[in-house]
Chain A
Amino acid sequence: MTDEMRDDRIDREIRRFLAFQAEDVGGAPSALDMTARIASSSTRAGRIRRGTRPQLVWIVLAGLLVAALLGAIAVGARLLREDTALVVLPTPSASPQMTVVPTEPLAPAYEAVFVRFAEATGLSEDIVVIAVDAQGNERELVQLPTDERAGAGFRPNLLTEGAAFSTTGLLAIPRSIGSYRYHWEIFDLNSPNPTPLEIAGITQDFDHRTPNFEGNRRPSPFWGPADEAAIPWYNRGLSGNQWHISFVDGRSGSIETVDVLEHPDDASDRIVPYWAADQSGILMSTSAGPRHLLRDGRLAEPTVEFMSDGHSRPFNSNGVAAPSSDDNADGPLGELLANGRQISDIAWSAAGDGLWLALSSSDETQVVAVSELGGLVESTALVFDPGPTGAIRVDGHLIGLAPDDSMIVLSSDPVMPAEVGEFTQRDLTPSLLVPETGGQFDVEGSFAGWLEVTP
């Protein structure tokens, strides 16, 4: 890894931290409260009515301070104390994130597609799309130049983590449109000189890239049949984010948008990357179970077949969720759990009759393993040995599964002991695993999808 690549990676981690930190606004007034404040002040000759806290309280406390001068030593000690902050994060339980379940016969072969920056050209802001085969060989698919219209100074590396690739060669990627806003463009990488197809109707502020852009979570668009993409997005409302799904034709750019829910997060509803095989809509995980979100916005029982786009598989083609490690599992899964193995992620196998398990390492097991649990056949890949690092365990996350299960993109996540209390420190490193051969290749860049290739 070059210094430039390492710095870029660190910068990405810093930006992710900033996005997290910026969302820590608990205690702030709601938009509705703020509206009332603004409305009130607008009728009072511009008098600002702020929150009730600061100045008067200071004056009172200052008086108390004068009376407490004898405690100056203790106060001085406090002055010298660093104002440190601690975020205590529980280790997330194994939770299915994305999905896949092909409805087509298995394709001949696939390559994993990643998006990264060029360095050989010296144009560090050029975006390079690469494909990696099962032997770990990388090849460059295309370079996309810096967007010259990014007048607001966006650097493209802030947005490339949102790129999503279809198996037929279409790349959906967010591009700056200035004033820290972005829209979506689609490039057909089958062309030697692809030109952008701009998607009208979806324009978001830069900070709206979360949550779909965070870490190694999947990108926003998910590709479905007939080169159509579904893009979840939101805009702001006074009482929360208002979510929409846009169905975009990747060839023509035509778009249909439906409103989904005002608060999918609060309502425990979640859009998952599954298309109905008949293109009638997508799968949505709700508190009442999986539902079929139709193109007109209605929810229906998931009676049709569903397919994923290669980013994990929490549901099978019938919309059935993979078992959780918290379930009272029986059979091979139950045996694993009974033997004390920690399962950090679960996905359906391509055929939907088995499971891919990402197992946590521990002092006892020493490895992160990916195992297929079906027919009692277990294939294992060594990913990470926590022994020398001091990590208390290493979690694996299935962030990509090839449509034929021939390759897996796994992120390994060391969980470190904290100096104070416990916390989870995440250093997600994508690795391409080939279960059949045991191959394991670290790849720089953001995983974007799979490319179907002819052997």
Chain B
Amino acid sequence: MTVERVAELLPARSDAAIAAFVAEHYDRLLRLARLVCRDASDAADAVQAALEQAWRKREALNDEARMRPWLDRIVAREAIRISKRRQSLLGRLLTPVQNVTWIEPGDQRASDPQTFVALRAAFVRLSPDQRAVVALHLHLGYSVAETAAIVGAPDETVRSRLRVATQLLRAELEESRP
């Protein structure tokens, strides 16, 4: 389905520009938010907040090189906020524990050559701030300085979060080996 076709199917108040805008950014932002939030619905909320802000301010951010980091900053910070809320005392009381992800045999991911239960268990033990810097630095490839700018923390803080997080993940991975 093309962007133009989707635009035709949208309500009259929508236009192809919104469709193209969402198509351009949604998938990447959702993945980033998913790493921080651990929950796809929370991730979608974080992404929606970012896209709505970006859409309203798109005239001022028409430079692609500025738009993407700006979107990532909003998503990362919103995802951290939501995730912290979920991890709060009240949040943990009231939110069902989602501790199992089942993958059907036909799922494409089932043939993924690298899936580590141990890593997943370790990853969810990281704080939202740690998950955010890991996602930005190791997954999206931002430098430490850029990651620091995105999450709004000093470089040294980001380095420290990365060091602690990767040490935990590495240790978990090595322990899980025979």
Contact = CB atoms under 8 A, between A and B. Distances in A.
Interface of A: 7, 10-11, 13-29, 31-32, 34-43, 46, 48, 50-51, 53-54, 57-58, 61-62, 65, 75, 78-79, 81-90, 92, 95, 152-155, 158, 176, 178-180, 205-207, 211, 214-217, 236-240, 262, 265, 388-391, 397, 413-414, 416, 418, 423-428
Given A206-B141, A389-B178, A236 B10 contact: no
Given A13-B173, A39-B13, A84 B121 contact: yes
A284 to B, nearest CB: 17
B91 to A, nearest CB: 8
A435 B60 CA distance: 63
Contacts of A207: 28, 31, 139-140
Contacts of A54: 45
A153 B141 contact: yes
B117 A418 contact: yes
Interface of B: 1-3, 6, 9-11, 13-15, 18-19, 21-24, 26-28, 30-32, 34-35, 38, 40-41, 43-45, 47-49, 51-52, 55-56, 64-65, 68-69, 89-94, 97-103, 105, 108-121, 123-125, 134-135, 138-146, 166, 169-170, 173-174, 176-178
A414 B113 CA distance: 11
Contact of B110 (A89, A153, A180): A89
A178 B40 contact: no
Contact of B1 (A153, A237, A414): A237
Contacts of A215: 112-114
Contact of A26 (B40, B47, B170): B40
The 8 closest A-B pairs by CB, nearest first: A153-B143, A215-B113, A39-B14, A389-B178, A16-B114, A22-B31, A239-B1, A28-B40
Given A18-B35, A215-B113, A389-B178, A87 B30 contact: no
A211 B94 CA distance: 37
B11 A36 contact: yes
Given A24-B101, A34-B51, A236 B138 contact: no
Nearest to B120: A85
A416 B145 CA distance: 39
Contacts, number: 272
A208 B145 CA distance: 23
Given A65-B94, A89-B110, A152-B142, A51 B69 contact: no
A86 B173 contact: no
B20 to A, nearest CB: 9
Contact of A14 (B11, B26, B103, B169): B169
A179 B64 contact: yes
Given A42-B52, A426-B115, A35 B10 contact: yes
A79 B24 CA distance: 40
B143 A90 contact: no
Contacts of A41: 52
Given A179-B65, A237-B3, 16 more contacts: A14-B173, A25-B31, A38-B52, A39-B13, A40-B11, A41-B52, A65-B94, A88-B100, A153-B142, A153-B144, A214-B112, A236-B26, A418-B117, A425-B116, A426-B113, A428-B113
B113 A214 contact: yes
A450 B99 CA distance: 44
A35 B99 contact: no
20 contacts: A17-B114, A18-B139, A22-B139, A23-B109, A24-B109, A28-B44, A29-B44, A35-B22, A42-B52, A48-B52, A54-B45, A58-B90, A61-B94, A75-B93, A78-B92, A84-B99, A86-B120, A87-B120, A180-B68, A207-B31
A201 to B, nearest CB: 17
Contacts of B105: 90
Contacts of A31: 22-23, 26-27
A239 B4 CA distance: 12
Nearest to B171: A10
Nearest to A52: B41
A272 B6 CA distance: 30
Most buried by B among A391, A413, A427: A427
B137 to A, nearest CB: 8
